[in-house]
Chains A and B, each alone.
Chain A
Amino acid sequence: MSTATTLGSRDAKLPDELDLLIIGGGVMGLSIAYNLARNHPGAVKRVAIVERSYLVSGASGRNGGGLRMQWGDAGNVALMRESIELCRHLAQELNINLWFRQGGYLFLARTESGERRLHRNVAVHEQVGVPTRLLAAREALELVPQLDVSEVRVAAYNPEDGVVFPWPFVWGYAAQAAARGVVIRTHTSVDALEPQPDGGYQARLSTGERLRAARVINATGAWSVGINRGLGIELPNHPHRHEILSSEPLKPFLDPLVVDLETGLYFSQSTRGEIVTGITLPDPPGLVPSHQVELGSSLRFLSNVARALIRVMPIAKHLEPLRQWSGPYDMSPDGDAMVGPSPDHPQLIQVCGFTGHGFMMAPAVGRMVARWLATGESHAMLQRWDPCRFRDGRMLRREDMIIG
């Protein structure tokens, strides 16, 4: 095998006929391709991924790398337990250092409503069988002595939650998918999908190439709206810009990722030593929602995150941010993803709408979607994530633990 194709290339040779075309070389598309090739060899034969930029260019390369079971809804809790369980063995499986570290997640509640949420979550987690427990403020202080817990009413802690460095994660999936015969073409966009009489699609690429694919996956996340609208598919997801930063590297001192529920502030220390942090920042008044992905960094973010961080961990006032960037959340109106056949387009499969938390779910989602593609076996989350639920009026908000 030529090494030039191992991590995706603008020169990778695409077959004219595909059984499965995956649009988007992010963690979702790559995880599905990897799981399909590894767990179901031969079930779906000719598979290719087409990425319009380079791998790791989108939200998969821009997120904070957190993985948590601490969700508000039992389905998400169980899903993330599976994802974290998979991560324990993934570095060996992918033969790459993922910088995976299980330091736990520590949620701090400073208001009565936050306190109620954490009590409710811990009850849900107990039912699912996840080891989250409530901590008094002084116990939180034992975990992270640098915190100011004077306002903290209660905390929730799950020692099995953790963080990864997102970049190698994506490269690892790519290399292992390519080694199993998946073609990864980068720097090439899918300009149009044309439905064919046999139910498949012809894809027109920015290079002028045309491919026929029996099935297509739209795994382009916040960029998915354009492809869908080109086919008249109206789904209610839309991109939303989020900012994040990492600090100068410090000697390891912070085990858990800490979340301040009231501000949506989160911060963790990566295995590289940096403090990685972000916050929920309300949109400026009058901002018109756009279907275009907007990037860019602001002083407003820096000052808001600085104020919130110092309030929770005063010693941070001496710390210096090193670099800030942004990435899109792919917002779904009910907070649930959109995974499965599209309305009126059964051979176009959406894997979108993960609302800023897709990276952590990708190990479990990749396995689940690959199994469904190969064997038709469904899953409770796939039924719930049905993209047709909006058209059919079956949407239901279950989750309120969207952070950042």
Chain B
Amino acid sequence: MSERVFVCRCEDVTASELEHAFAAGLSTIEEIKRYTGFGTGPCQGKECMAALARELINRGLSTPTQLRPFTARPPAEPVSFGALAAAPDPFVDPAPSLPQADPLGDPQEPPSP
């Protein structure tokens, strides 16, 4: 059985990769994200960021007041390109029209007058 411990399951980042980052002198969450790729997968750091924060504090590399999460990236929830394509561009469509059909496939409310 493998001894590897995964910290970020989305991007397969292991505890030993975090060790490399610490050894290279990196001590902020933003830097370590860019060094290991952790937190850039489908969970967007929801699973792994706290584990990294704990390690940085336990090792005395940072303090709770110094630590900052990495910048949250939109969209907050997954939305398909098909749905997004229905959002009008305010600078191209001077009078945004209603989408032809609800892109999410949910039953559509009739538009109020």
Residues of A bordering B, CB below 8 Å: 3-9, 11, 54-57, 61, 167, 171, 175, 248-249, 272, 282, 284-285, 297, 299-300, 302-307, 309-310, 316-325
Q: CB within 8 A of B73: which of A4, A272, A284, A324?
A: A324
Q: Report whether A54 and B30 are in contact in the complex, using a CB–CB cutoff of 8 Å.
A: yes
Q: Report whether A319 and B81 are in contact in the complex, using a CB–CB cutoff of 8 Å.
A: yes
- In the bound complex, CA of A310 to CA of B70 (Å): 31
- In the bound complex, CA of A320 to CA of B83 (Å): 9
Q: Report whether B84 and A167 are in contact in the complex, using a CB–CB cutoff of 8 Å.
A: no
Q: Report whether A9 and B25 are in contact in the complex, using a CB–CB cutoff of 8 Å.
A: yes
Known: A6-B24, A8-B25. A171 touches B35 (CB 8 A): yes
Q: Report whether B31 and A167 are in contact in the complex, using a CB–CB cutoff of 8 Å.
A: no
Q: How far is the CB of B102 from chain A (nearest CB, A)?
A: 14
Q: CB within 8 A of B28: which of A54, A167, A248?
A: A54
Q: How far is the CB of A171 from chain B (nearest CB, A)?
A: 6
Apart from A11-B25, A320-B81: 4 A-B pairs, beta carbons within 8 A: A6-B24, A54-B28, A56-B35, A318-B82
- In the bound complex, CA of A300 to CA of B79 (Å): 14
Considering only CB atoms, which chain A residue lies closest to B11 in the complex? A272
Q: Report whether A317 and B24 are in contact in the complex, using a CB–CB cutoff of 8 Å.
A: no
Q: Report whether B84 and A303 are in contact in the complex, using a CB–CB cutoff of 8 Å.
A: yes
- In the bound complex, CA of A320 to CA of B74 (Å): 12
Q: Report whether B73 and A317 are in contact in the complex, using a CB–CB cutoff of 8 Å.
A: no
Q: Report whether A320 and B91 are in contact in the complex, using a CB–CB cutoff of 8 Å.
A: no
B69 contacts the other chain (CB 8 A): no
Considering only CB atoms, which chain A residue lies closest to B91 in the complex? A284
B58 contacts the other chain (CB 8 A): no
B110 contacts the other chain (CB 8 A): no
Q: CB within 8 A of B81: which of A54, A272, A282, A317?
A: A317
Can you pick out 30 interface pairs between chain A and chain B where the beta carbons lie within 8 Å of each other?
A6-B25, A9-B25, A11-B25, A54-B28, A54-B30, A54-B31, A167-B34, A167-B35, A175-B24, A282-B91, A284-B91, A285-B91, A297-B73, A299-B84, A299-B87, A300-B87, A300-B90, A302-B84, A303-B84, A303-B89, A304-B89, A306-B81, A310-B81, A310-B85, A320-B79, A320-B80, A321-B75, A322-B78, A323-B44, A325-B73
Give the residues in chain A near B80, CB-CB below 8 Å.
317-320
Give the residues in chain A near B31, CB-CB below 8 Å.
54-56
Give the residues in chain A near B37, CB-CB below 8 Å.
167, 272
Q: How far is the CB of B81 from chain A (nearest CB, A)?
A: 4
Q: Count of B residues near A, CB < 8 Å?
A: 32
Q: Report whether A303 and B88 are in contact in the complex, using a CB–CB cutoff of 8 Å.
A: yes
B98 contacts the other chain (CB 8 A): no
Give the residues in chain B near A321, CB-CB below 8 Å.
75, 78-79, 81, 84
Q: Report whether B91 and A7 are in contact in the complex, using a CB–CB cutoff of 8 Å.
A: no
Q: How far is the CB of B33 from chain A (nearest CB, A)?
A: 9
Give the residues in chain A near B86, CB-CB below 8 Å.
303
Known: A299-B87, A300-B90. A61 touches B34 (CB 8 A): yes
- In the bound complex, CA of A11 to CA of B26 (Å): 11
Q: How far is the CB of A293 from chain B (nearest CB, A)?
A: 14
- In the bound complex, CA of A160 to CA of B78 (Å): 34
Q: Report whether A3 and B84 are in contact in the complex, using a CB–CB cutoff of 8 Å.
A: no
Q: Contact string, B8-35, partner A, CB cutoff 8 A, digits 1/0?
A: 0001000000000001111010110011
- In the bound complex, CA of A330 to CA of B85 (Å): 29
Q: Report whether A7 and B78 are in contact in the complex, using a CB–CB cutoff of 8 Å.
A: no
Q: How far is the CB of B37 from chain A (nearest CB, A)?
A: 7
Give the residues in chain A near B25, CB-CB below 8 Å.
3-9, 11
- In the bound complex, CA of A7 to CA of B89 (Å): 42
Q: Report whether A309 and B44 are in contact in the complex, using a CB–CB cutoff of 8 Å.
A: no
Give the residues in chain B near A3, CB-CB below 8 Å.
23-25
Give the residues in chain A near B34, CB-CB below 8 Å.
54-57, 61, 167
Q: Report whether B40 and A323 are in contact in the complex, using a CB–CB cutoff of 8 Å.
A: yes
Q: Report whether A7 and B26 are in contact in the complex, using a CB–CB cutoff of 8 Å.
A: yes
Give the residues in chain A near B90, CB-CB below 8 Å.
300
Give the residues in chain A near B87, CB-CB below 8 Å.
299-300, 302-303, 306
Give the residues in chain B near A11, CB-CB below 8 Å.
25
Q: Report whether B78 and A300 are in contact in the complex, using a CB–CB cutoff of 8 Å.
A: no
